[in-house]
């Protein structure tokens, strides 16, 4: 499967490296200084759990020509930067499948205005990372000895077909587990209901996840904000929470959830996957906040914890 990773940020670089090391026919698209660095040095990564530094000489390009042919393009670009990508991909008619892996709150209509629905599917990466002086610092599991975290994919119509299974097989044969979900739109909305309060709570502590882990009242406020987001989505008819373990969060008492998230926030995964991303991705968080506000307004659900936490985001953004 001839594959292009569109986006050479931390996660695009990580998955390009993984696929390349497994012998897949993979190319990465990078721009400007990032393109020049990869062209000269390859993709250079640092595993935050093991301390291992590694590099791979992945083929790199800085544009897609209209006659370029790929079986799969995996787009790993922040939501607030996606519109120019859609313009580029709409001019490329020899791309069979496009997998958008990233945050999405308001659904897929804007994608289908540019691209045929049958060529597109959506998902979310399982790793976390940041780019520091062109070196990818990453964690792809919550704890050092665990299996790599799975990526999530789903068809916009909710069905699982031959192309879904082919993409699943492609990643899993490279050592990347895949979860196929039937309602990827709902999955991404519930995911946003979690990650936005996480980001807001981190901004309260200047993106120091360890400080957040020590703030018991802050963790409980985060939990209340997440549950408010869940009530918004249920009010809008999204009653099937995905993944299933999200149901446990909504069922469990606040005190039990607080213990779980205290441990999570006090971890290297939270540092690399949450805190550094929140700091670097404030522009995306601001856009996603406005998108989720659209859902809140539609639902008419009261969200006092979300509203208070958003004040820390606005102060951080100044």
pLDDT tens digits for 83-122?
999 999 999 889 999 999 999 999 999 999 999 999 999 9
The average pLDDT across 162-187 equals 96
CATH 3.40.50.720 at 3-181, yes or no = yes
Residue 260: its pLDDT value, please?
A: 94
What is the Cα–Cα distance from 293 to 290, expressed in whole angstroms? 5
Q: How are beta strands 135-139 and 151-154 bridged, if at all?
A: unpaired
For 31-47, the pLDDT digits (tens) are: 999 999 999 999 999 99
The average pLDDT across 262-276 equals 94
Backbone angles phi, psi at 6, to 5 degrees: -95, 100
Neighbours of 172 (CB within 10 A): 13
Q: Is the predicted pLDDT of residue 289 greater than 70, yes or no?
A: yes
Residue 146: its pLDDT value, please?
A: 83
For 242-267, the pLDDT digits (tens) are: 667 778 888 889 999 999 999 999 99
What is the Cα–Cα distance from 144 to 24, expressed in whole angstroms? 25
Backbone angles phi, psi at 92, to 5 degrees: -105, 110
The average pLDDT across 228-249 equals 86
For 16-26, the pLDDT digits (tens) are: 999 999 999 99
Candidates 138, 130, 271, 293; CA nearest to 205 is: 271
Q: How are beta strands 178-180 and 151-154 bridged, if at all?
A: parallel
Residue 242: its pLDDT value, please?
A: 67
For 55-79, the pLDDT digits (tens) are: 999 999 999 988 899 999 999 999 9
Contact 188, 122 (CB under 8 A): yes
> Coil, strand or helix: which one is 93?
coil
Output the CA angle 141-126-233, nearest 5 degrees. Answer: 125
For 117-168, the pLDDT digits (tens) are: 999 999 999 999 999 999 999 998 877 788 888 999 999 999 999 999 999 9
What is the Cα–Cα distance from 238 to 130, expressed in whole angstroms? 32
Contact 137, 130 (CB under 8 A): yes
Two tokens, residue 19 = 């696929």
Residue 153: its pLDDT value, please?
A: 97
Rounded to the nearest 10 degrees, how much is the dihedral formed by the CA atoms of 69, 74, 77, 78?
140
Residue 250: its pLDDT value, please?
A: 86
Helices (H), ranges, the chain: 10-21, 32-41, 82-90, 109-112, 162-172, 184-204, 209-213, 216-235, 245-251, 254-265, 268-269, 276-280, 282-299, 304-317
Two tokens, residue 297 = 């307004």
């Amino acid at each position: 499967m001839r594959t292009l990773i569109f986006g050479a940020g931390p996660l695009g670089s990580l998955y390009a490296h993984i696929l390349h090391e497994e012998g897949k026919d993979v190319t990465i698209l990078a721009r400007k200084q990032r393109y020049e660095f990869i062209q000269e040095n390859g993709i250079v990564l640092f595993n935050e759990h093991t301390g291992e530094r590694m590099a791979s000489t992945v083929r790199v390009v800085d544009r897609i020509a209209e006659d370029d042919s790929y079986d799969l393009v995996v787009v790993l670009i922040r939501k607030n930067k996606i519109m120019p990508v859609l313009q580029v991909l709409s001019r490329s008619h020899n791309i069979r499948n496009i997998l958008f892996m990233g945050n999405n709150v308001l659904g897929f209509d804007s994608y289908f205005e540019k691209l045929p629905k049958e060529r597109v599917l959506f998902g979310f990466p399982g790793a976390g990372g940041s780019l520091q002086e062109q070196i990818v610092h990453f964690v792809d599991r919550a704890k050092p000895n665990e299996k790599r975290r799975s990526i999530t994919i789903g068809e916009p119509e909710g069905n699982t077909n031959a192309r879904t299974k082919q993409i699943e097989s492609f990643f899993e044969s490279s050592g990347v587990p895949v979860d196929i979900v039937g309602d990827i739109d709902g999955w991404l909305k519930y995911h946003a209901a979690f990650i936005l309060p996480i980001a807001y709570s981190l901004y309260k502590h200047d993106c120091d996840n360890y400080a957040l882990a020590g703030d018991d009242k802050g963790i409980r406020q985060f939990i209340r904000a997440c549950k408010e987001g869940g009530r918004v989505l249920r009010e809008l008819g999204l009653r099937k929470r995905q993944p299933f373990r999200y149901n446990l969060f909504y069922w469990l008492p606040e005190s039990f959830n607080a213990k779980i998230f205290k441990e999570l926030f006090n971890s290297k995964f939270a540092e690399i996957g949450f805190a550094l991303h929140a700091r670097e991705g404030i522009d995306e968080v601001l856009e996603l906040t406005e998108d989720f506000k659209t859902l809140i307004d539609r639902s008419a659900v009261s969200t006092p914890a979300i509203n208070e936490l958003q004040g820390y985001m606005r102060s951080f953004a100044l």
